[in-house]
Structure formats: C-alpha cells, structure tokens
Amino acid sequence: MKFLVLASSILGLVSAIVVPRQANYDGYRVVRLQVGDDSSKVKNIIEELSLSTWNGAPKADSEVDVVVPADRFSEFESSTADLDSSIMHENLGASIAEETNYQVYAAGSANSTWFNSYHPYADHIQFLNDLKNSYPANSEIVTIGNSVQGRPITGIHFYGTGLKNTKPAVVFHGTVHAREWITTMVTEYFAYSFLTGFASNTEIRNLLNKYDFYIFPVANPDGFVYTQTNDRLWRKNRQSTAGSSCLGHDINRNWNYQWSTPGGSSTDPCAQDFRGSAAADAPETVALANFVNKVAASTQKLKLFIDYHSYSQLFMTPYGYSCSVVTANNAEYQSLARGVVAAIKAVYGTVFKSGPICPTIYQVSGSSVDYLADVTKAQYSFTAELRDTGRYGFVLPADQILPSGVEAFAGLRYLLSNLR
C-alpha cells in the first residue's frame, strides 16, 4: 500500500499525517495460472515481480489467481509462457467500477430490490434496521462490541413469535474478510427470506419456531468501509502493529485456538493472513468470541455456527489447523456437508465441493470454525466459500447476488432440517 505523507503545523508543532492513497486498479489484469508440478517456479515469479494472489500461495498441481499491474504484465507473460493460463479480469479497474455502481436505497424500503446491487456500509445498517422495523415481533438489532475504529459490530436477531431467547441459537458471520462482498449480501438474504417468509411459508415458520438466529453480515466493518473508500481488495481489519507500518490483522487467523500452529497463518504484519501479535488481539475477534461464548453458556446453547466467505464454492467442516485431525463426529459432518452441496446444486446446477477445511482448501490456524468447534463447543461449526470458482473471484457481478442467495438459502434450509 502506498501512502501520501502530509505535514501540518498545529499550534507551532509539526506532525506527520499518513493518508492512504486510493488504490487504482485500472489496467490491472487478474490471471489464473495452472501451477503444474513445480510450485517453486510460480512462487519465484510472484516474488520477483512483487505480485499478489487472490487464493493463497501457489501449490503444486493447482491453480493460483494472480493480480498483475499493467506495467508488469509483459514480464509476467514472458515468465509464464510455458504455463497454461486464463484471464479472469482483463481490466480489474473497469470490473470494480461496474460492481460499485450502487443502486440508490430509499430508507424504509427493505424489499427484494435490495439484492439487485451492492451497497455502501451505511445502507447496510439502514437495511437491517428497516428489516427489524418491518417485523418488530420477530426481530431486533444487536450490537456486540466495537471495531478498531469504533464502529459497532451490528447484527440482526430474529426468532419465532414469543420465542425470543428460548430456542437453540444459530450464528452466522459475513464479511470477516473485507473484500468478500457477496457474503454480506447472502447473509442479509437469509435474514430477509426468514422474516418475509415467516407468515406464509410453513417450512420457514417451523425453522424460526425451532431456532433463534443471529446474523452479523459485516463482522469487519472497518475493513469493509475501507474497501469502499480506498482499496476494493483490502482483506484484514485496520489495526496497527507495533514496529510495522503495515496495517491490519486477519480476524480469521486471530482466534485463540491453535493460533500459533505453523503453516496456517503469517507472522508478517504486511501479509494478507497476518495472525496478529497475540491471539485474540483484534477487538473484532474479542467481540465475536465473547458473544458466541455467552450464547453457548446460556440456556439456549449454540446449535450451529457458519462463517461465510468467498470465493471457491466450498462447504467445509473442521478442522483448518490440521489436515489429518478430524472431529469425533466427522462422519456426520461430512454427510451433512454433502447434503448441503446437493441442495445447492439442485437450484441452478452450481457445483460446490465439501470436506474438512485443511485438505479441501488450505491450512488455516486461529480460525473461528475450529474455535467454535473445540472451545465454544457449538454442536455444529461450518464455513462456506460462496461463488464463484474463479471467473470473477472477489469482484463478483451484482447480477449474481440474488442467485447466490437463493442457492445458499436452499443449502441452509437442508442443513437446518437435518441437524440432530
């Protein structure tokens, strides 16, 4: 990240103010490379050209999605001439401009047109409040703590009539990684579908009478706002680290369980998956953990937790910290995950894969899913990677919001109907 340094004099004292320069991705390409059996070659190219990737470090016999600035594309192209590749975004800046062509949201109009477009952060908070105001007997707004920059971590709590705080709890997180905008919209689609369907849909009414739902569509508000004002591809929160000019801790590498397990996170403050200086040193992690632990310790108990991410089209189970350790009820977990994947596919034919996190995508230490499974003791703990598999990646066109929500909701209904 480049910074603009301004000097100002206040009452005779000169202070340096560091202002982040707005990222400009005009002319950038995003290229999917087939790594082949020698991952070191691709790793060296990425390091030598100072490139970033969207899906982690290159692994042998896999794909890696690489962001290439215009002034480095010729060298990148010649360096990778012997590798199979495809273009995901010919001009990333243009793709972002199209995605951020927000529709105007009129306060008070919490209807299905919300899902025709992405929206600014303030409108998301307004939408949740409008949804609550439309269904006051079945919902309320909850805040569970503040972000680094003081923004409330806001969610919506909804339930059957007269059943608030009496049924097993279900908790969903969205936008833990700031650039994963589709997760904000899909988790909001769940809330919208449950509340609007309660009166007329027997299946939905039965589920709302059976469970208490807490959905936090933007678990990382500072990072999300930053993606809308400065850098669309920002991932972490906006926390500083002593001794480094790089900002941000990865909230999903910061949970106080298997936090320091080698290979599942980075100790470099400049890395996308920086785990923080200490376990749970991010205020967002603390707030989220305190909330789920409080719910789990209550008479409600915590039935189900799902952390929604993008992209890759996966529905995964614990564990992330190890590729060999599985849960005691792993057979049940895998059966449920396969059922979710089948229910998603039945809607539009979208193919998801399932399995434990580590062998299915990559090793992840200090994750919410592992923490919820082994510390909080939620009965079930999953994570999802939503659309797509790499055509658009993080910059998913707005016309895919509604189908993403519809298919994910089908998978969720299957899951909720099949839990013990």
On whether the CB atoms of residues 130 and 139 are closer than 8 A, the answer is: no
CA-based end-to-end distance of the chain: 48
The answer to whether the beta carbons of residues 259 and 282 sit under 8 Å apart is: no
149's CB contacts (< 8 A; 6+ apart) are 222, 238
Which is the catalytic residue, given 99, 180, 284, 385? 385
Q: Which two tokens mark 45?
A: 């190219």
DSSP 10-42: ETTEEEEEEEEPPP--TT-EEEEEE-TT-HHHH
Catalytic status, residue 385:
yes
Element spanning 384, H or E: strand 380-386
d(CA 140, CA 11): 47
Phi first, then psi: give them for residue 162, nearest 5 degrees: 75, 10
Q: Enter the tokens of residue 401.
A: 């919001």
Query: Which structure tokens are listed for 109?
Result: 């109009």
Instruction: Record the tokens describing residue 202, joined without a space.
Output: 């027997």
Cβ–Cβ contacts within 10 Å for residue 160, how many?
Answer: 19
- From edge to edge, which strands make up the β-sheet containing 52-53? 52-53, 63-68, 29-34, 85-89
Separation CA 300–CA 294 (nearest Å): 10
For 399, list phi and psi in degrees, rounded to 5. Answer: -70, -5
Whether the CB-CB separation of 45 and 75 falls below 8 Å is answered with: no
- What DSSP element (H or E) covers 339? helix 330-348
Place of tokens 């012997």: 82
Residue 91 to residues 96, 129, 180, Cα–Cα distance (Å):
9, 36, 19
* Strand partners for 68: 29
Q: Is the peptide bond before 388 cis (omega within 30 degrees of 0)?
A: yes
Establish whether the linkage from the previous residue to 311 is cis, with ω within 30° of 0: yes
Q: Which of 406, 359, 25, 9 is nearest to 186 (CA)?
A: 406
Continuous segment of H or E residues that includes residue 154:
strand 152-158
Active site residues: 385
